[in-house]
Structure 1
């Protein structure tokens, strides 16, 4: 991924020996061919494409949370395997992570001194546009990008966007995490596919990453900024021979079966709401009543139906520790920070007249 998203490798047929860096189990930088991990059942590395095929990165042209999750992952992981300052210059820059993929493009262009590589990359509007542009068809060959699991197989079969309708949904990538790297597992097991070691982006894989004990424990004293999981960084920590001090914990999780490229969806909500004319605070149709009833259901600590609905589209509920704090902080009748109608005494909305 680092080689692709930095423009270091630009063709799927590349088999140049000792071209890209990786870390061994002791944290030493090693070099391998781009196709080293693409081994057949006999253990022989095969090119990803038998003929020359340009790697075309498909990215979200909008401001995107998915772009932020991706660039946070690349910023944490790629500089650790650098040997020529390229990854540090591109991914280690202070302007990443970012919700704008153009920021990463600008970094690549600045380091390469040219726009030649990124001119082959394709911008698409929204996750549907990205997924449809990648697809699985022969005409879309050579593309790679990033979307949430809900836009990939097996969680959906068809996607639409970028002027395309009902396109065959793309597949997703299993990734090596730090636990596998430290265990010396660098190549998926293609001889017995049922025991594939690399981690697939499943609800269980995301949950395993989020339950890494190095992440901060949620507390009712948290502000909105504390809920930014990507800002949870390591203290003075060496992991598998590599210093990860100050790095984002989530991408560098060493928890078994944890998918390292994980994140969260989020909602923008007001904390104080106006009371429409003619409505009473006790009316069941009141906007605060409707909203808090939904959120109370959504953040129920144990709700098998809710869990099944969320997992069926490739996501997983946030861990119970997060759900409990969210309920206690923003939904509990006894919390001064609860979502309320403007002017509600005993809350932060006491002096508010409407939506803030």
Structure 2
């Protein structure tokens, strides 16, 4: 060890004795120092003056997308909610089409809207409500056939009826009827089954009071007509009976007179007998006339009674039809007709549903942050004077 330190000391001494500056040391030093900035902070300030315009652009686009999404009438999926159509006639045609391929979705004109009745100008004094409710829902899913089967089971479980259904790999459509009192619970069940993020619904209602008032007015009018017809029929019967009784009373009186004359005839002389026969012939002719009048009265009576009975039967039939209309209206109000459409949701829309705001805005914002980090690392780590 002693030898090693000795050798080291020898070399150090030799090296220090040989150290010397180059002949042009001062010139080289001045030239290098002239190129080095006197203030390194100013150098970095110059580098930071280069702003990350790309990050600013991405951020601005993200803000614009966010505010457009806020201002637009959109649902949870960034799509505008469907508008209900005017027609509901074809909607009730019962059919079932369960193909393996995706069915074509029905047009918005076939969404259920309660039919319009009356002018809606019922006085406020009648504050009854006969609300006909229509229900439409849209569910975004990646498992349309399975979800359609579960929805149909759910509808039947609530005492409902499937009017038509179609389902395919990426879409489905169900139209149905449901008891009105089950609607609220059914809506919660469907929302829970589909997921609140992927479910939109639209309900509409219309008060059928004008139709109800029209039915009631028709019923009152027909009941009054029936009462008047029954009263008229009673009057016809009474009048007929009085006329027939009067004629029959006259016939009975004449028959008594004839009987009296016949009793007098055997004891009468020839002149009186001739007179009695003449009187009896006149009385018999009168009886024939009265009987003819009775026959005409009976014929007229049968015609009148037949006519009034036809009117009564028609009015009773009208009342039966009106009562059926009233029952149908009550049953219609107690029934909710609706549709549920199943549509495919892609992965982008799935992520957008869970994102707090429009997913596109977050993508631009992340791009802005990533570019800023890249810019910051590049221009801080590599100063210009190198």
Q: Does TM, scored on the shorter chain, surpass 0.5? A: no
* Structure with bigger gyration radius: 2
Task: Determine which structure has greater relative contact order: mean sequence separation of CA pairs < 8 Å that are 6+ residues apart, divided by chain length.
Answer: 2
**Structure ranking higher in helix proportion:** 2
Q: Taking structure 2 as the reference length, what is the TM-score of the superposition?
A: 0.18
